A and B are shown apart, each in its own frame.
Chain A
Amino acid sequence: MTARRVAERMIADGLVVAAILGWWLLSLRLPDFLMPSPWQVATTLFGLFVTPSLLADTAASAARVIASVALSTVIGGVLAIVPYRWPVTDAIIRDRITPFLNSFPSVGWAILAMIWFGTTDAAVIFVEVAILTPFCLVNILEGLKSLDQELIEMGASFTRDRARRFMKIVFPMLLPYLMSAIRIAYGVAWKIALVAELFGVSSGLGYLMLKAEIVSDAASVYGTCFAIVLLFLAGEKLVIDPLSRLVAYK
């Protein structure tokens, strides 16, 4: 059993080493603008977190991601609560707003935002919120559907104050779903941050990537891709995981 575990590990890590080695060998034969070496990419990646001007772009992207995740959780939450409180609106949320937002192409939002809001931070955040909201909405709708009805009835026998019942019973039960909405939105947010930033704004990782693409600076394109993977992982391990543990223990 342990021997197999060791073999499994060796193959998995061997794959990573082999991929980097293969990349390095390939980069020796191909020109830099096609395939930069792993070291060049590592240097640009390092620069993104150290060089002040580049760090500003990284921070701008991160700030936009955090703002949009927060905003879309709130908007998705409000949209999900409406049919819970007024069941008549269920079809509006479920059959109109959700599929509309869900199938709206993200590039479409990006172009429209550029035309509507110009090249501003607000445009980028608008695009990210528009894309993330359906993910939060669907998750919180699911959560509200699977709440323990008996507990809610018990609450009703204690108080008629709806707001109080909501804060004491519904909201705590909803927290895990809220958390998974945030987790999913966060994962998607980093991926679409690039799309949102490719049109027009002059800061952020998406802007850096497009600039690098135009001058065929492949090392920077690679570097930005890896920076996003790293930032995503860091946020998930350092913020999202502890938060969801906190929620789960309650």
Chain B
Amino acid sequence: MPSENSLAPTKRSAVASVLGEERRARLGAHLFTLAFLGAWWGYSLTVPPFVLPGPVPVAIRLAQFFTTYNLYKQAFASLEHIVAGMAVSLIVGSALALAAHYLPVLRLAVHGRLSPFLNSFSGIGWTLLSIVWFGVNEFTVVFAISVVLTPFAIINIREGLETLDRELLEMAMSFTRNRWREFGKIVLPGLMPFVFATLRISFGVSWKVALAAELFGGRTGLGYLFNLAQQNFDVRLILVVIFVIIAFVYGTDRLLFAPLQARFGRLEASASP
């Protein structure tokens, strides 16, 4: 007698092919989105608009958002802060991980002291401290983002350095004694997938940190818009900013980082055999 488990797949495959099932799942996801919007709309009718505006007013505000110069400027400012913070943290984090790798005496200092310390301090803590130190300005925002992201870079680059192919390194040694050349030709290409992983993780984290940092310590950026919207109880603007961020973070991850990482990952894979 066939068990319930072994019967189920055959029954299902008789009714619908694998493709059909996938299509059904996708349809389910779209229906879920519609149901979510419907529930939002329905609930927004029962509460005043300053608590939760409906999807339509938010969509209208969103359209305005994309036609207002000032809002573009703020979004661009946030992007600037994030790119600067990511660049600084990648450089500092890689430098520290490389130092610990090539000078093993520093290993405990970097991985046992500095990295856990940076990792356990909260982003808001860094933001408030840097406001005290540097005042409310762009530097504060970039500083806070960089400090929060640095441990991610240290951990990822360390991971990359530890998984470098020993045999490839030995081969390089037999070709050249120039360590710089070895670094440029073997180590750096081997690290690329990890650099991209770092960037991808940092990007997702940095938006959240950037918003918090701009909210408390900035005069520009989407976080600053949050601050204004919160003071005016403009929930529509808050939802619009949240929506823009979700769309941008998700879109960039899917359309930029996923293909880039897949490409560099494949390059790495095809280079190793």
Contact = CB atoms under 8 A, between A and B. Distances in A.
A185 B242 CA distance: 22
Contact of B113 (A15, A33, A95, A209): A15
A216 B181 CA distance: 51
Contacts of B233: 115
A195 to B, nearest CB: 5
Contact of B226 (A7, A107, A221, A225): A107
Given A89-B28, A229-B121, A108 B132 contact: no
Contacts of A21: none
A116 B52 contact: yes
B123 interface: yes
Contact of B230 (A88, A111, A229): A111
Contact of A107 (B51, B112, B113, B212): B212
A92 B5 contact: no
B204 A103 contact: yes
Interface in B191-229: 204, 207-208, 211-212, 215-216, 223, 226, 229
Interface string B23-40: 011101100110010000
Contact of B242 (A33, A108, A190): A108
B36 to A, nearest CB: 8
Given A12-B109, A105-B211, A105-B242, A34 B133 contact: yes
A243 interface: no
A156 interface: yes
Given A91-B25, A218-B132, A106 B250 contact: no
A11 B108 contact: yes
A35 B253 CA distance: 39
A106 B109 CA distance: 32
A171 interface: no
Interface residues of A, number: 61
B122 A191 contact: yes
Nearest to A9: B108
Interface residues of B, number: 58
Given A103-B245, A213-B128, A225-B129, A90 B204 contact: no
A221 B245 CA distance: 29
B interface SS class: helix
Nearest to A108: B242
A99 B121 CA distance: 26
Contacts of A153: 5
A34 B52 CA distance: 41
Given A34-B133, A107-B212, A195 B238 contact: no
A107 B226 CA distance: 9
Contacts of A152: 5
Given A96-B32, A116-B51, A194 B125 contact: yes
Given A91-B28, A225-B129, A107 B211 contact: yes
B246 A100 contact: yes
A96 B29 contact: yes
A229 B235 CA distance: 34
Interface in B110-161: 112-114, 117, 120-125, 128-129, 131-133
Interface stretch (B66-74, B99-107, B165-173): B99-107
Given A90-B25, A116-B51, A213-B132, A104 B242 contact: yes
23 contacts: A8-B105, A8-B107, A15-B113, A15-B114, A88-B28, A89-B25, A91-B25, A96-B33, A99-B250, A100-B246, A104-B242, A105-B211, A106-B208, A107-B212, A111-B238, A114-B230, A115-B233, A194-B122, A195-B212, A206-B124, A225-B121, A228-B120, A229-B121
Given A103-B204, A111-B226, A224-B125, 16 more contacts: A4-B104, A89-B25, A91-B25, A105-B242, A106-B208, A108-B238, A108-B241, A160-B4, A191-B122, A195-B124, A198-B216, A213-B131, A216-B132, A221-B128, A225-B121, A225-B122
List 4 A-B pairs, minimum CB-CB distance, nearest first: A91-B29, A12-B108, A225-B125, A191-B122
